[in-house]
Structure 1
């Protein structure tokens, strides 16, 4: 086995490159020509001005258009090069939400015949968001977070069981060794006492023999 990681699936590579190209091109256009997107950005700031301020985004339409352009350019390049793909895909999807929300009232406009006007831009945003969400949940054949979490939990449980089993065995072994040592100590003490008693008897006999008249 080599130390190389898994090879990138060619279909994923092409799909991400095509998806990223839309954002790189659109982001570059928004950054270089913010006036073209000022009207849409103005609708976003009117609807979501307080939210934009809360997250630190500009509320000036031109500045918002350029900021969105930067996010989409950088995110598109990272998506195309498979760099932090999943969080980048979520960030790009989030960059489409304001303009999509701001454009929802376009659906209420109608043609002279009473039919609602078809707005391809909104549909395009929704389609791109769908592709980005798929990229965000794509694990490239590797186990997902739920499986890895469950696997880690099972592994931890097995480790605890093995540790408990090992501790029990060691405790029993220590108890057995202690019992053997106690028996050995008792035997040694018994032998010592027996030897002392025998020596005492011999000493008594020798003393008694020395006291008797010859």
Structure 2
């Protein structure tokens, strides 16, 4: 594994582990801000808890678990994808800069919004990082190309072997019995 992955993954994960722990321990601190985002989503997704505090706690638990997996390099692509999924509602709930009246608060919230957007980009890159190994898509395309090549060679080989047999059959048919 490259040094960039060894160092970069825990750095990226640190924010989620810390923030997730805070959400698990004290969901009441962020529940009021999360309400406008959680309520419409919870109404459409029956698996989510009805309580905003429980949804915040669940989001935090996913962030802690996925953050630890990403930091340790265990299932890093799945962990990065899970973190990306949790970051979207977190950002929409916590950094609604377009609703701020105070210009200073608007600037701060926009900075945090853009920071989360940058982290989302990093997570999407991490989710697509195969660690230098070919991706599953590349391997399947490569295998299909190899199968096509082998089938073509088998067909040519069959035809090459069939020509002399066909010629021998024609000669045999032409000979008197």
> Is TM-score (shorter-chain normalized) higher than 0.5?
yes
Q: 1:46 to 1:67 in 2, by over 3 A?
A: same
**Structure 2 CA distance for aligned equivalents of residues 34 and 118 of structure 1:** 22
What RMSD over aligned residues (CA atoms) do the two structures have, in Å? 2.7
Q: Does 1:31 align with 2:31?
A: no
Query: Any residues of structure 2 matched to 1:42-191 within 5 Å, and which?
Result: 42-53=35-46, 56-103=47-94, 105-111=96-102, 116-119=106-109, 120-172=111-163, 174-175=165-166
Q: Secondary structure at the match of 1:125?
A: helix
Q: In structure 2, how many angstroms separate the alpha carbons of the residues matched to 1:122 and 1:67?
A: 21
How many residue pairs are counted as aligned between the two chains?
175
Question: Normalized against structure 1, the TM-score is what?
Answer: 0.69
CA spacing shift, 1:35–1:103, aligned 2, 3 Å: closer
**What is the alpha-carbon distance in structure 2 between the residues aligned to residue 71 and residue 118 of structure 1?**
26
SS of the residue corresponding to residue 64 of structure 2 reads helix
Q: Secondary structure at the match of 1:118?
A: helix
Misfit runs of 4+, over 6 Å = none
Gaps in structure 2 of 5+ consecutive residues? none
Instruction: Could you tell me which runs of 5 or more consecutive residues in structure 1 were left unpaired when the two chains were aligned.
Output: 1-7, 190-214
Contact 2:42 2:48 in 1 (8 A): no
CA deviation map 1:60-111 (0-9, x unaligned): 1111111111111111111122222222211110101112223454323232
